[in-house]
């Protein structure tokens, strides 16, 4: 049975195309007749501003004496590097296999309180694993339906904050308390699109007035509400991983080229496995592809070399609204040089592609 965001009735009334995301019925896109559709929503974010409902994402608190030290022994990145009021991208790996249980954002409120935002489908597993491993005195709370998450993304994001009277004083991956329509929010300068932007945590039952105010201002700036279809095309252009595609229990951070989110000098779950993978250099490697013809790659399609030998598989593929061509992320059996030519089997037809450096479009997050 599907779960619903606090904005579910808004999405229905707006005529959104809805689909399941990790057990949550969420908007893919809004009607093109009203200026929506994946292409228009994508372009709005790249050129102006878009606002997303991503309330299906999980919300978990880890609290108590030693909370930060406990999480730091579990997660791949180093929470000790953070000051209070800073956030960090992290991975939680399986201790036995090194596979990725989930990727998530960790907000450090203090060394006694860390707020985690995991993926919707993995929240229960993350909570279960943390609860089973926690020492005495640590509390793990699943707060999935206590808070919503809204994402304000695009080059005009700061114009929206100005209109709301919120000071623009956040460094990338830092957060603070603020107010919208008199409701307290947590505002973090982050996102999943490669554009300047913010993610907003608000209480579940206060989401609609906050959303309505944001959407009104977004429209004044030439933007619109955007669905998860545009979120996917935006993140694929940036080479950002999606759990279940570029990261999974079968795909480690080393294979997914996510070693930048691993603090090798400290302990974390799965470290010996990942160290071994890193040392032997025989692992698969995630690389970006740009299609040279009219083919549109999709997840699961095979990547071949010029001799016709299978050398990889597409993990995410789409049409890039920015580049006007097909693009993909692919897990390759051997790392190829940037500029190397390969072939993608697009439903039985050979489609030419070139290995490209990721991101495929310029990032504006910092």
Q: What is the pLDDT of residues 209-222, one digit of tens each?
A: 999 999 999 999 99
Same domain, 51 and 66: no
Number of Cβ atoms within 10 Å of the Cβ of 108: 23
Strands (E) across the chain are located at 3-4, 17-21, 24-29, 50-53, 60-63, 86-93, 100-110, 113-117, 139-142, 147-153, 175-180, 183-188, 197-203, 224-226, 285-291, 302-304, 310-320, 325-332, 341-346, 349-356
Same domain, 113 and 194: no
Same domain, 216 and 76: no
Q: What is the pLDDT of residues 97-137, one digit of tens each?
A: 999 999 999 999 999 999 999 999 999 999 999 999 999 99
Q: What is the DSSP string of 234-270?
A: HHHHHT---BTTTBBTTB-TTTTT-GGG--TTS--TT
Residue 130 lies in a domain: yes
Contact yes or no for 17/11 (Cβ under 8 A): no
Q: What is the mean pLDDT of residues 254-281?
A: 96
Mark which of 108, 134, 160 sits at the end of a domain. 134
Tokens 């896109």 sit on residue: 29
Question: For position 144, what pLDDT does the model report?
Answer: 97
Q: Whole-angstrom Cα distance, residue 112 to residue 109?
A: 8
Residue 244 lies in a domain: no
Name which of 332, 294, 317 is nearest 245 in CA terms: 317
Assign residue 188 the CATH number of its domain: 3.30.1360.120
238 Cα distance to chain centroid: 11
Residue 249 lies in a domain: no
Assign residue 124 the CATH number of its domain: 3.30.70.1400
Q: Does 28 have pLDDT greater than 90?
A: yes
Same domain, 14 and 87: no
% the chain with pLDDT above 90: 96
Same domain, 41 and 165: yes
For the chain, how many structural domains are there in total?
Answer: 3
Residue 275 lies in a domain: no
Query: Which residues, 6+ apart, have CB-to-CB distance to 165 below 8 Å?
Result: none
Residue 303 lies in a domain: yes
Contact yes or no for 352/291 (Cβ under 8 A): yes
Residue 76 lies in a domain: yes
Mark which of 85, 104, 134 sits at the end of a domain. 134
Confidence of residue 335 (pLDDT cuts 50, 70, 90): confident
Range of the domain at 36: 3-55+146-237
Question: For position 325, what pLDDT does the model report?
Answer: 98
Same domain, 164 and 230: yes
265-299 residues labelled b (16+ CB within 10 A) or e (exposed): eeebbbbebbeebeeeeebbbbbbbbbbeebbbeb
Residue 251 lies in a domain: no
pTM tops 0.95, yes or no: yes
Assign residue 290 the CATH number of its domain: 2.40.30.110
Structure tokens at 297: 């790659």
Same domain, 106 and 171: no
Cis status of the peptide bond prior to 359, with omega within 30 of 0: yes
Q: What is the mean pLDDT of residues 333-358?
A: 95
Same domain, 107 and 224: no
Question: For position 147, what pLDDT does the model report?
Answer: 98
Mark which of 222, 237, 252 sits at the end of a domain. 237
Structure tokens at 344: 């993608």
Name which of 199, 158, 155 is nearest 46 in CA terms: 155
Residue 289 lies in a domain: yes
Question: For position 283, what pLDDT does the model report?
Answer: 86
Structure tokens at 89: 């991208």
């Amino acid at each position: 049975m599907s779960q619903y965001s606090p904005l579910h009735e808004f999405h229905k009334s707006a005529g959104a195309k809805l689909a399941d995301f990790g057990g949550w019925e969420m908007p893919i896109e809004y009607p093109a007749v009203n200026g929506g559709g994946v292409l228009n929503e994508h372009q709005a974010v790249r050129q102006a501003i878009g606002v997303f409902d991503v309330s299906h994402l999980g919300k978990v608190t880890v609290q108590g004496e030693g909370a930060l030290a406990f999480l730091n022994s579990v997660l791949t990145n180093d929470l000790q590097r953070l000051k209070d009021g800073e956030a960090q991208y992290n991975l939680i790996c399986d201790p036995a296999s090194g596979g990725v249980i989930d990727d998530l954002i960790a907000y450090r409120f203090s060394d006694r309180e860390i707020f985690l935002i995991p993926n919707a489908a993995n929240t229960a597993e993350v909570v279960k694993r943390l609860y089973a491993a926690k020492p005495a005195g640590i509390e793990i709370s699943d707060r999935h339906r206590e808070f919503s998450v809204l994402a304000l993304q695009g080059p005009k994001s700061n114009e929206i904050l100005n209109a709301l009277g919120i000071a623009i004083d956040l460094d990338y991956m830092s957060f603070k308390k603020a107010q919208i329509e008199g409701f307290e929010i947590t505002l973090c300068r982050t996102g999943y699109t490669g554009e300047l932007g913010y993610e907003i945590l608000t209480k579940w039952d206060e989401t609609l007035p906050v959303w309505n105010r944001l959407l009104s201002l977004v429209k004044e700036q030439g933007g619109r509400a955007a669905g998860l279809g545009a979120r996917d095309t935006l993140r694929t252009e940036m080479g950002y991983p999606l759990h279940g595609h570029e990261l999974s229990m079968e795909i480690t951070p080393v294979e997914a080229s996510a070693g930048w989110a691993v603090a090798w000098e400290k302990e974390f779950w799965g470290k010996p496995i990942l160290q071994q993978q890193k040392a032997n250099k025989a692992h698969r490697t995630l690389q970006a592809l740009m299609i040279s013809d009219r083919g549109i790659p999709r997840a699961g399609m095979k990547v071949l070399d010029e001799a016709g030998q299978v050398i990889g598989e597409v993990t995410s593929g789409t049409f890039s609204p920015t580049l006007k061509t097909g693009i993909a992320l692919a897990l390759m059996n051997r790392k190829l040089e940037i500029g190397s030519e390969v072939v993608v089997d697009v439903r039985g037809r050979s489609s030419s592609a070139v290995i490209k450096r990721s991101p495929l479009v310029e990032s504006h997050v910092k």
